[in-house]
């Protein structure tokens, strides 16, 4: 229907006049048509298109999103102004604006960078994700931002590069220098960006290993970043030693491994779950030898299982496993966490549940005359 309207012998001014109609459907159709035939002159259609986006008609909402994307390059400042000044906007509303600005491509890069740290109702993460979605054409201007004197801008820019991934390869030299010399929280994000951009580059691995030893205050976060790197390398199959390196990182690798169990990539999930099984086996062996310090306080273990962060929940589940048959009182909790929303926690809870039940069965068999 839209194409039929756009093809009618009506001028942009005719469609613009229809925006004043009292009929919401007519206003919407005129906005769609005007945006199609004259995107550069369609400033006043934007509120009507956004109204369609939030409407009940899915077809019209889709058409409105498409027209917003078509006209975005002509009206970047207006779209950004709406995004950063509209409080309590619905997810549909914000998503349509973000997608339109991403479709604007290079035309939107300068304005998005200018608003990155002062986004009003928006946030650095939302605006940064738009820049990441724009992709390669945003890389060169963003590399310049890595030298900005404001550490917060450097931090946000490094995060954007982590979202762009391998297409931001030209940022690797600057990010490497940031890992070695920048402030702690900026250096950590630069390390995570390197892991996403160049996971198979030996320079990335050597930089993280060397700097984790040279900058003691950064040792733990850099080793966590190194764990993420090893996960990616093990997933790719390019480095046969990555699994061993990952296991050797010990506790620093625990949280990245747990998080990777919930990754969208089935291959990465498999690597992470294998690591959890290896750690579980090592803990079980160490417990049998009386080596590790296992939390035995029931209250502390219960508190760990209800923590917001996945790492403590997963660790508590494995500690319960180390109690063997004495972990019987935690069976209901373990059963609940076996369905945890975090895949890593669920994996640990299932391992613990299996181990405790096996220990109970073994003790029962031993007591049977």
pLDDT at 265: 86
The pLDDT assigned to 278 comes to 75
User: Residues of the chain whose pLDDT is less than 70?
Assistant: 1-9, 279-296, 364-369
Supply the pLDDT for residue 234: 86
pLDDT in tens, 79-129: 999 999 998 889 999 999 999 999 999 999 999 999 999 878 889 999 999
pLDDT on residue 8: 53
Query: What are the b/e assignments for 218-252, b being 16+ CB within 10 Å?
Result: beebbbbbbbbbbbbbbbeeebeebbebbbebeeb
The overall average pLDDT reported for the chain is 85
Q: Residue 263: its pLDDT value, please?
A: 78
Domains for the chain: give ranges and CATH numbers.
1-104 (1.25.40)
């Amino acid at each position: 229907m839209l194409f039929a309207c756009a093809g009618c012998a009506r001028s942009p001014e005719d469609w613009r006049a229809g925006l004043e109609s009292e009929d919401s459907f007519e206003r919407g159709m005129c906005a769609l048509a005007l945006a199609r035939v004259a995107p550069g002159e369609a400033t006043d259609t934007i509120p009507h298109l956004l109204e369609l986006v939030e409407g009940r008609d899915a077809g019209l909402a889709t058409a409105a999103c498409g027209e917003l994307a078509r006209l975005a390059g002509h009206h970047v400042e207006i779209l950004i102004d709406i995004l950063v000044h509209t409080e309590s906007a619905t997810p549909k509303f914000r998503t349509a604006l973000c997608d339109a600005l991403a479709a604007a491509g290079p035309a939107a890069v300068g304005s998005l960078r200018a608003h990155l740290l002062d986004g009003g109702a928006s946030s650095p993460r939302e605006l940064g994700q738009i820049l990441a979605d724009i992709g390669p054409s945003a890389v060169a201007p963003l590399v310049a931002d890595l030298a900005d004197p404001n550490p917060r801008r450097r931090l946000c820019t490094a995060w954007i590069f982590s979202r762009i991934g391998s297409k931001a390869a030209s940022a690797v030299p600057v990010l490497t220098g940031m890992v070695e010399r920048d402030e702690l929280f900026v250096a950590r994000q630069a390390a995570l960006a390197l892991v996403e951009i160049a996971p198979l580059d030996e320079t990335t691995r050597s930089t993280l290993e060397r700097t984790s030893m040279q900058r003691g205050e950064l040792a733990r976060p850099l080793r966590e970043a190194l764990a993420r790197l090893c996960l990616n390398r093990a997933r790719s199959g390019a480095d046969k030693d990555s699994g061993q390196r990952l296991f050797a990182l010990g506790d620093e690798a625990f949280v990245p491994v747990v998080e990777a169990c919930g990754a969208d990539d089935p291959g990465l999930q498999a690597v992470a779950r294998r690591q959890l099984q290896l750690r579980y086996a090592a803990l079980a062996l160490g417990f049998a030898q009386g080596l590790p310090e296992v939390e035995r306080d029931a209250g502390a273990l219960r508190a760990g299982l209800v923590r917001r962060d996945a790492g403590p929940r997963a660790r508590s589940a494995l500690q319960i496993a180390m109690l063997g048959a004495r972990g019987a009182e935690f069976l209901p909790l373990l059963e609940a966490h076996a369905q945890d929303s975090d895949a890593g926690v669920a994996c640990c809870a299932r391992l613990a549940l299996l181990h405790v039940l096996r220990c109970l069965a073994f003790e029962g068999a031993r007591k049977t005359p």
